[in-house]
Amino acid sequence: MTTFFSVLILVSSISLIVSVLFQEGSEGLGAIGGNAPDSLWGRNRGTSKQSMLRRITVVSAIIFIISAIGLAA
C-alpha cells in the first residue's frame, strides 16, 4: 500500500508541476506554453485551454493531498 501511495504522489506531483507551468499568466513561466492568443488552441479556444489546465491542476492537487494523508496514516 505504501508503494501505491508513493506512486500516486509521484504522478500527481509531476502533473501538478507541468500543469502549473503551462498555465498562462501575466508574466513568468506561462511563456513556456506560448503566451500568444493565436497559438495552437486559437483565439476563441484560449479559455478552454485554461479551464482544462485549471481542472488538471485541481484534480492533481486533490490526489496529491489525499495520497499524502494516506501515506502518513
**Which among 10, 31, 30, 23 has a CA at the least distance from the CA of 57?**
23
Q: Which of 8, 15, 4 is nearest to 60 (CA)?
A: 15
CA distance 64 to 70: 10
How many Å is the Cα radius of gyration of the chain?
A: 15
pTM: 0.69
Over residues 44-61, the mean pLDDT reads: 82
> What are the structural domain ranges in the chain?
2-23+36-72
Lowest average pLDDT, out of 22-26, 44-48, 53-57, goes to: 44-48
